[in-house]
Amino acid sequence: MINIGKEEFKKAYLKKFLEIHGEELGEGNSYKKYEALGNLVKDYVGEKWVETTKKYNNSGEKQIYYFSMEFLLGRLLGDALLNLGIRDVCREALKDLGIDLGELESLEHDQGLGNGGLGRLAACFLDSMASLNIAGHGCGIRYKYGFFEQRIVDDKQVEVSDNWLRDGNLWEKRKQDKKEIVKFGGEVITEEVNGVMKFTHVNYEPILAIPYDTPVVGYEHETINNLRLWSAETVSDEFDFSSFSRGEFLKALEYKNSVEAISQVLYPNDTQYEGKILRLKQQYFFVSAGVQSIIRHYKKHGGKIENLDEKIAIHINDTHPTLAIPELMRILLDEEGLGWEEAWKITTGTISYTNHTILAEALEKWPIDMFKTLLPRIYMIVEEINKRYCQELWNKYIGQWDKISRMAIIADGQVRMAHLAVVGSHSVNGVAKLHTEILKKQEMKDLYYFYPNKFNNKTNGITHRRWLIKSNPQLTRLLKNTIGDGFIKHPTDLIKFEAEVHKKEIQLELAKIKRLNKEKLAKTILNTKGIIIDPDSIFDVQVKRIHAYKRQSLNCLKIMHLYNEILANPNKDMVPRTFIFGGKAAPSYYLAKNTIELINKIANVINNDKRVNEKMKVVFLDNYRVSLAEEIIRATDLSEQISTTTKEASGTSNMKFMMNGALTIATLDGANIEIKDEVGLDNIFIFGLQSQEVLDYYKYGGYSSYEYYRDDQRIRAVIDDLINGRYCSDKERFRPIYDNLITYNDEFFVLKDFDSYIETNSRVDDEFRDLYKWQRKCGINIAHSGIFSSDRTISEYATGIWGSELIYKNL
C-alpha cells in the first residue's frame, strides 16, 4: 500500500506535471494531465517492480510464464490506482486542482491486443497472479495495431485500424538489452560428431525480437509482475547509403517492412482458422523469443537445466503458442546438449495447455510444406515427436491404422497443433465443466483415453477488482457497508451478502444503484447514438463477438416478434424494454456482418415507430471494447447468454454480469451451467435444448428448421420479414440470414429454441414487475459470484497444474 496523503499527492502531481511537460499545470489540455498522472503512478510502481524482480531472482521461487497471442488489457490507469490503494486519495487531490479523475481515466486508449474472451481471460489471469503474489508473467506480441476499431456507417460495420501507440504508451518500457534473435528459413546440416548427431541451422534469416515490458500491479502493491510483449525489427537498422545509387535502398526498405510486418497486426479472427504464413511467423516469433529469454534468465541466475521443470512453468493459451514445445526441445537438444529422453521429460514437465474451443473450424493445422520451409529444424523435431508418439500408439493399438492416423500429430499433409499441444504437455484443461466433458468424451476422445491423467477442468473466472470494485463503485460501497470489505481479498466472502438480500432496504439500494448506472449508460447512448432510452425500461443486453453460434439472430427474431405483437395489440401489457447490442464481426465473416446490419435496420425501424416506442427501443453500440463493457455491464438488468448448447466453451461476460447484479437468460451451455448450479433455477432464466439433444441431432440428424417455419405462425412471420422489405428496401439484403436459417437448415437450432426463448422472456417480464423480488434475485447472483473470481481459477491452476506455492492462502 502506498502511504500518501492528499496534500502530498497534490504536490507530487504538480511536480511531475512540470517535470514532464516543462510547464506549470494550467487550464485545458486534459491529455497532458493524464500523462502527468500516468507517469506519477508509474514512478510509484517502478520501485516495487524492481524489488519484486530481485526477490524472484534471489528466492528461486517457481516462475510461471503465461504465453498468449492475445492480452486484452483495456485501460490501465484506474486499475493501477486501485491496486496501489490510492485511487480515492488521487481523486480527492485532483478535485482540489479542479481536475476530474474519471475524465483523465477516460482519455487512456484501450490496450486492445485481443479479440475477445481468450485475450480478456489472459488479462484477468495476469491481475489475479499478481494479486495472489504468484510469480506469473505474460509473454506475447506487441502488435503495432490492435484489434480494429469498429464504426457503423450506413448500418454496416466498417473497420478502422487501431493505432493505439500513436500518442505513446507510458506503461511500457523498451528493453533493448534483453533482445533475442529468432531464425526463419534456411537449412539444417546434420552431421555426426563423436558418435552424436549434431544439427546446425544455416542460411537462415535472423529477426530481432525486442521486448517491451509492462508492469502488472497486484492488489495492495505487494507484487508487481511483468507482461513482456515482443516487437519484430531488422537485425541491422543501418542502411548502406551507397546502395541507394545501385537502386537497392528501396529494396532494403521493403525488407524492413516485411520484417516489421510480423508484429504489425493482430488477426481479427476468433473462430475461423486461416492458414496464413504470417500467422505462423507470428507464433514462432514470440514463442522462440520468449523461451530463449526465459532460459537465458534462468541460467544467468544459476538455474540448472536439469531442474527446469521444477523452477519454470510455461502455460500455453490455446494452441497458438504450441511451438513453445518444439522450441524448448530445440534449445535443450541443440544448445544445451541434452539427450532426447531427458529433454522430452523436461519439456512436457514444463508445458501445460488450455483448450478454449470445440469448434472444429477453429483448430489450427499447418500445411507441412509451409511449416518445413519456414521452420526447418523445428519441423524435424515435430517429426521426431510424432514418430515416437505414433510408435507408442502402435504398441497400444496394434494394427488400428485409422485410429492412429486420426490421433497423429502429422497426417494428411498437415501438422495438427492441438495434438502436438496435448502430446507435449503434462496438463490439458478445458474452461468449464461441460466443455471439459465434451473435450474428453467427444472432441479429443481418443487422446483422452490415451492420456486420461492429463485432462482436467479449470472453470474460467474474471477479476472482481476490475469488473466490480473499479467499474461499479456504488455497488462496491453498498457491499462494504453491509458485509465489510473482506470480499475484496476473498471474493467468496460475497456469499455473506446472501443473508442481506431479503431485506427491503437492501433491495431498494440495489435498485437505486442499478438505476444510477442505467442513467449513466442512457447518457452515453444519447451522446454517441442520439437515441433516447428510458432508464426504467428493462436493459436487455447482448454484448460479445458476433457469431452464428452465439445466436444474436435469435435475439433479433425475438425483437421482431415483439414488434409484431405490439402492433397487433397496442395495449399489450408489458414492461418497456431496451435491447442493447454490441460486438465486432471478423472482417471476412459475411454472415456476422450481415447480422450487425440487421440489428441496425431493426433499430431504425423500431426506434422511429411512435406506435411502439414507449414499449421498446433497440440500440447497437459501436466499437465494443473493455472500457465500454465496464459501462454497459453494471447497467444491465438482463444478460443474454443464448449460444447453442455445447458451442460456448465457457463464456466470461456471463460472470461479469452476474457479479454486477444482472439476471441471466441462458441456455445450459459453458459456464452458464455452473452459474445455474450456484444460484439455483429460481434466480436464472434457463431455456432451450440440452447438450445431449444437440449432440444427438448432430450425430443422428432429424432436425428440420423448415418444419418450425411451416408450423409456427410467429416464426413464419418474422422469417418472412427478413426478405419482404420490412426492414430494408433492398429485399435481398438479409437473404444470407434467411438462407442460413431455412435453406441450410439452421445449423445452430435458432428456430428450434425460439418458442422456449419467447416463453422465458415473458417470464422475465412478469418477474421484473416485482421490484423487490427481482432485486432479491440480483442480490443472490451477486452473493454467489465470488466463485467466478479469477483468483479462484488461478489458485486452481497454481496448485493443480503449475505446482507453484501459494503464498497467499485462505482463499
The piece of 110-118, 193-201, 476-484, 681-689 that touches ligand 26Q (CB under 6 A) is 110-118
Closer CB to ligand 26Q, 52 or 645, in the complex: 645
DSSP secondary structure letters along 263-292: GTB----SS-----HHHHHHHHHHHHHHHH
Cell 533482445, residue located:
179
466 is catalytic: no
211 makes contact with ligand 26Q (CB under 6 A): no
- Shortest CB 287 distance to ligand 26Q, Å: 14
Extract the runs of DSSP E, i.e. beta strands, from 1-68: 63-67
Other Cβ atoms less than 10 A from the Cβ of 614: the count is 11
583 makes contact with ligand 26Q (CB under 6 A): no
Residue 643 gets which letter from DSSP?
P
- Shortest CB 272 distance to ligand 26Q, Å: 7
The burial class, CB within 10 Å (0-12 / 13-18 / 19+), for 603 is buried
The piece of 113-121, 181-189, 225-233, 253-261 that touches ligand 26Q (CB under 6 A) is 113-121
Candidate list 33, 87, 545, 634, residue with the active-site label = 545
- Shortest CB 654 distance to ligand 26Q, Å: 9
Residue 478 gets which letter from DSSP?
H
Rounded to whole angstroms, how far apart are CA atoms 796 and 804? 10
What is the bridge-based pairing of β-strands 351-354 and 71-74? Answer: unpaired
356 makes contact with ligand 26Q (CB under 6 A): yes
Q: For residue 108, what are the contacts with CB-CB under 8 A and spacing of at least 6? A: 34, 38, 75, 76, 77
- Shortest CB 275 distance to ligand 26Q, Å: 8
Rounded to whole angstroms, how far apart are CA atoms 212 and 231? 7
Rounded to whole angstroms, how far apart are CA atoms 804 and 127? 17
- Shortest CB 266 distance to ligand 26Q, Å: 9
Closer CB to ligand 26Q, 279 or 297, in the complex: 279
Which value, to the nearest 10 degrees, does the dihedral of the CA atoms of residues 357, 358, 362, 365 take?
110
- Shortest CB 25 distance to ligand 26Q, Å: 42
428 makes contact with ligand 26Q (CB under 6 A): no
- 135-194: contacts with ligand 26Q (CB under 6 A): none
Number of residues that bind ligand 26Q (CB under 6 A): 23
- 450-509: contacts with ligand 26Q (CB under 6 A): 460
C-alpha cell at 808: 497467499
Residue 237 gets which letter from DSSP?
-
C-alpha cell at 481: 457497508
Closer CB to ligand 26Q, 366 or 703, in the complex: 366
Closer CB to ligand 26Q, 469 or 649, in the complex: 649
Rounded to whole angstroms, how far apart are CA atoms 541 and 554? 13
- Shortest CB 214 distance to ligand 26Q, Å: 21
Rounded to whole angstroms, how far apart are CA atoms 491 and 789? 7
Among 417, 649, 658, 723, binds ligand 26Q (CB under 6 A): 649
| Backbone Cα Rg of the chain | 27
429 makes contact with ligand 26Q (CB under 6 A): no
Instruction: Output the CA–CA distances (angstroms, integers) from residue 290 to 337, 649, 803, in the order listed.
Output: 20, 28, 21
CB 654 within 8 A of CB 629: no
Candidate list 550, 584, 617, 733, residue with the active-site label = 550
**Residue 725 — φ and ψ, nearest 5°?**
85, 5
Closer CB to ligand 26Q, 118 or 232, in the complex: 118
68 makes contact with ligand 26Q (CB under 6 A): no
550 is catalytic: yes
- Shortest CB 653 distance to ligand 26Q, Å: 8
516 makes contact with ligand 26Q (CB under 6 A): no
Residue 434 gets which letter from DSSP?
H
Residues in contact with ligand 26Q, shown as a per-residue x/- string from 650 to 689 under the rule CB under 6 A: xxx-----------------x-------------------
CB 612 within 8 A of CB 537: no
699 is catalytic: no
CB 225 within 8 A of CB 216: yes
Candidate list 454, 465, 547, 656, residue with the active-site label = 656
Closer CB to ligand 26Q, 677 or 770, in the complex: 677
78 makes contact with ligand 26Q (CB under 6 A): no
Residues in contact with ligand 26Q, shown as a per-residue x/- string from 243 to 272 under the rule CB under 6 A: ------------------------x-xx--
Residue type, 724: N
Closer CB to ligand 26Q, 77 or 121, in the complex: 121
C-alpha cell at 64: 510461471
Q: For residue 126, what are the contacts with CB-CB under 8 A and spacing of at least 6? A: 66, 71, 73, 136, 138, 216, 225, 227
CB 757 within 8 A of CB 642: yes
- Shortest CB 141 distance to ligand 26Q, Å: 12
CB 745 within 8 A of CB 706: yes
364 makes contact with ligand 26Q (CB under 6 A): yes
545 is catalytic: yes
Taking CB positions, which residue lies at the least distance from ligand 26Q? 117
Residue type, 548: A
- Shortest CB 70 distance to ligand 26Q, Å: 6
Candidate list 652, 667, 760, 793, residue with the active-site label = 652
DSSP secondary structure letters along 675-725: HHHHH-GGGSEE-S--HHHHHHHHHH----HHHHHHH-HHHHHHHHHHSSS
279 makes contact with ligand 26Q (CB under 6 A): yes
The piece of 51-59, 116-124, 209-217, 326-334 that touches ligand 26Q (CB under 6 A) is 116-124
Rounded to whole angstroms, how far apart are CA atoms 476 and 468? 7
CB 783 within 8 A of CB 497: yes
Closer CB to ligand 26Q, 273 or 379, in the complex: 273
Among 118, 224, 495, 506, binds ligand 26Q (CB under 6 A): 118
133 makes contact with ligand 26Q (CB under 6 A): no
Closer CB to ligand 26Q, 374 or 525, in the complex: 374
Closer CB to ligand 26Q, 262 or 574, in the complex: 262
Among 113, 121, 139, 170, binds ligand 26Q (CB under 6 A): 121
Cα three-residue angle 649-651-656, rounded to 5 degrees: 160
- Shortest CB 281 distance to ligand 26Q, Å: 12
Extract the runs of DSSP E, i.e. beta strands, from 494-575: 538-543
- Shortest CB 793 distance to ligand 26Q, Å: 10
Among 38, 78, 112, 116, binds ligand 26Q (CB under 6 A): 116
357 makes contact with ligand 26Q (CB under 6 A): yes
Among 149, 500, 648, 674, binds ligand 26Q (CB under 6 A): 648
431 makes contact with ligand 26Q (CB under 6 A): yes
- Shortest CB 108 distance to ligand 26Q, Å: 24
547 is catalytic: no
Which value, to the nearest 10 degrees, does the dihedral of the CA atoms of residues 655, 659, 665, 669 take?
20
- Active-site residue numbers? 356, 544-545, 550, 652, 656
Residues that bind ligand 26Q in the complex, under the rule CB under 6 A: 115-118, 121, 267, 269-270, 273-274, 279, 356-357, 362, 364, 431, 460, 648-652, 670
